[in-house]
Amino acid sequence: MMMKLVFPDGDRPQMLLDNRVYRLGSAPESDVVLAADGVEPIHCELQVGAQGVQMRVPGGIQVQVNERPVAGLIALRAGDMLGLAGSRIRLVDASGESAGARGADRVDANATMVRPVLPKFALRGLSGEFFGRSLPLQTTLTIGRAEEAGLRIPLDSISRLHARLTPAGDEVLVEDLGSANGTWLNGKRITSAQAVHGDEIRFDTQRFQLLVPGQPVRVKSEGVAAPSRWPLLVAAVLALAGVAYWLLR
């Protein structure tokens, strides 16, 4: 079923939805930028897939569906009206609009087709079942063993909602969500920190490297001790002492 977003206030064209995640909020990098008062930078997410459209609402953020407050991860259906602060958005079934088209699908002339873009970041697995795999990171991603986690790691050592990654400009905000076994950035346990290309992010023992596609991978030498400079310094001192001895004879 093809779905689209319709804006009853008429401040923008309709938007056809592809199978991916859409961020709605006031941040300039959001997929749907909303300028109404009270809209958070990332107010909510729409997850569009084979199972339909689901909306994820972060804790403490006010969102209404058909004038009723909602929170967490909920399923949406055609005809639902979303209320985000002062903005209204209706989810509409657009699949019937192709009826009668000849040779190609026909869509609403006012609709804007939004196509997937290459992710700015990726996570490359360095251990466990994700070893060698690259996972796109183009929107906020929750890591945990819970079914609703965006990146599900079904291990007892991983908390249900373990951590959250949020791309922001040239960095990714890494937040621990109160996990039991910790979130680590380049070997240091953190609660909240900024990660960049080449950094290693670890959730308990599950290791990933943050990458920017197209950029060379930074080679790290973790665990390898740097060569000591003391032997060189001692040799230099002995050499100078020898030169001084021969000059003073």
Query: What is the pTM (predicted TM-score) of this model?
Result: 0.45
For residue 92, the one-letter residue type is V
3-state secondary structure of 236: helix
Residue 129: what pLDDT? 87
What is the pLDDT at residue 125? 92
- Strand 44-49 relative to strand 21-25, pairing: antiparallel
Asked if 86 and 38 touch (Cβ cutoff 8 Å), the reply is yes
For residue 69, the cross-strand partners are 64
pLDDT of residue 236: 62
- Asked if residues 57 and 44 have their Cβ atoms less than 8 Å apart, the reply is yes
Label residue 12 exposed, middle or buried (CB < 10 Å: 0-12, 13-18, 19+).
middle
Q: How far apart are the first and last CA of the chain?
A: 96
Label residue 23 exposed, middle or buried (CB < 10 Å: 0-12, 13-18, 19+). Answer: buried
Task: Specify the pLDDT at position 160.
Answer: 93
**How crowded is residue 135: how many other Cβ atoms within 10 Å of its Cβ?**
15
pLDDT in tens, the chain (249 residues): 688 998 876 667 888 898 888 988 888 788 888 877 888 888 999 988 877 898 888 888 889 999 888 888 888 988 999 998 878 899 998 876 544 444 444 444 454 444 444 568 889 999 988 888 888 887 888 999 998 888 899 999 999 999 999 988 889 999 999 999 999 999 999 999 999 999 999 999 999 999 988 787 655 544 444 455 556 666 666 666 665 655 565
Q: Which tokens hold the place of 6? A: 């319709």
Q: How far apart are CA 48 and CA 146, in angstroms?
A: 19
Instruction: Identify the pLDDT of residue 184.
Output: 97
